[in-house]
Structures are given as structure tokens and as C-alpha cells.
Amino acid sequence: MNSFKRHMWLVLIAYCIVGLIYPPIGIVAVACMLAPVVTGPFMGRKWCNSFCPRGSFNDVMLKRVTLNKGIPRLFKATAFKVIFLIVLMSLFAMQLTLAWGDWGAVGLVFVRMVLITTVIDIMLGIYYHQRTWCAFCPMGTMGGWAFKLKNRIKRRLQGRESLATMLRKEG
Ligand code: SF4
């Protein structure tokens, strides 16, 4: 375990405490939300494995207390991931729309979401497996899709390139 991963969980705890005291700071969560999606095409799940504060919290703290029953298959199913992503993002977008224009209220939307998802993460992590949340985390899911999409495009381009080279040689 690298030193980033050993300590990044402190960022999650600090965020929750400071976010409750000073809600506008909650907006910084945008960085952590976008990171797995933006880095996904280039680094795959590197963000999740090494830098994500919640991933670190799961692997450093929850790992010590989990009953380790394994992640239920339901949480790994694509349909479940898609439905959860749509529901969570819709609720999030609705709250953001209502809060828009007031930075304190906008920050509080982020803080509330992080707190609620952290409680879900802890409950599932203790009962099933420390990384249960990560099996269907919307941001991790989108990062994984971005990585797969990039690979698919790359393979297609390579296929076209080798076909063109072959045709050139034959012609
Ligand atoms: S799946 Fe989500 S919570 Fe888990 S490490 Fe990746 S971004 Fe973080």
C-alpha cells in the first residue's frame, strides 16, 4: 500500500468535519467526483486503487472491521449500477438546481451527499466487504466505462490502420 493510500482517508474525514462547519467548502468534492472519470481513460482504476479518499478509507479503516462476507452479485450487476447511477445523479442534480445561486447551499448539497454515501459505504463495508460501495459507485463506474470506451476506440483505430496497411501492401 503506497503512502498516499495509507493517508488519503484523512481527507474524507476532514472534508466531512470542515464541510459541516463551513458548507461552501463542500464544493471541492467536485474534484474527487471528476477524478476517476477524467483519469479513467488514461489510468484505468488507478485513482480508485491509489488516490481516492473513500477507497483509502475502505482499505485502511473498514478492512479492519468488515465481516468480509463478500460483495453480493446484485451490486456488481450492470443494471443495478446504471439504475443507481441514474437515481443518485438525478437526486443530486435536483438538489443542486434548488440550491443554485447560494454557494453555502450548493456546498451543503455536496457535503450531504458525501455524508449519506459514507454512511451507506460504512454499513455495507462492515457487513459485506470493505469495497462493497466501490462495486457500484457511480464515479468509479463511469471511470471504468471511460477506460473501456477508450480501449474500444483504440482497438478499432488499430484495426483500421492494419487493414489500410494490408491493402496498401496488396495494392
Ligand atoms: S469506486 Fe468510487 S469510492 Fe471507490 S475508490 Fe473509486 S471513486 Fe472512490
pLDDT in tens, 92-126: 999 999 999 999 999 999 999 999 999 999 999 99
pLDDT in tens, 30-64: 999 999 889 888 888 889 999 999 999 999 999 99
**CA gap 29, 36 in Å, rounded:** 12
**CA gap 144, 88 in Å, rounded:** 18
- A 10 A CB-CB count for 139 gives 22
> Relative to the CA of 55, which ligand 1 atom is closest?
5
**Measuring CA to CA, which residue among 60, 65, 54, 66 is closest to residue 118?**
54
Alpha-carbon distances of 32 from 110, 142, 166, rounded to whole Å? 11, 13, 45
Q: Percentage of the chain with pLDDT > 70?
A: 99
CA of 131 to the centre of ligand 1 (A): 9
Please give the average per-residue pLDDT across 7-36, as a whole number: 95
CA of 52 to the centre of ligand 1 (A): 6
Instruction: Report the pLDDT value the prediction gives residue 171, as an integer from 0 to 100.
Output: 67
Could you tell me if the CB of 107 is within 6 A of ligand 1?
Answer: no
**Measuring CA to CA, which residue among 94, 93, 102, 107 is closest to residue 27?**
107
**How far does Cα 98 stand from its chain's mean position?**
24
Which helix (H) or strand (E) segment holds residue 102: the answer is none
SS3 annotation, 132-170: HHHHHCHHHHHHHHHHHHHHHHHHHHHHHHHHHHHHHHH
Could you tell me if the CB of 52 is within 6 A of ligand 1?
Answer: yes
SS3 1: coil
CA of 19 to the centre of ligand 1 (A): 20
CA of 162 to the centre of ligand 1 (A): 37
Please give the average per-residue pLDDT across 129-142, as a whole number: 95
Instruction: Report the pLDDT value the prediction gives residue 12, as an integer from 0 to 100.
Output: 97
pLDDT band at residue 167, thresholds of 50, 70 and 90? confident
Please give the average per-residue pLDDT across 143-159, as a whole number: 87
Reading the block at residue 121, the C-alpha cell is 459505504
Could you tell me if the CB of 134 is within 6 A of ligand 1?
Answer: yes
Instruction: Report the pLDDT value the prediction gives residue 89, as an integer from 0 to 100.
Output: 94
CA of 73 to the centre of ligand 1 (A): 18
Q: How many residues does the chain have?
A: 171
Domain total for the chain? Answer: 1
> Relative to the CA of 45, which ligand 1 atom is closest?
6
Contact (Cβ atoms closer than 8 angstroms) between residue 149 and residue 41:
yes
**Domain that includes residue 114, residue range:** 3-170
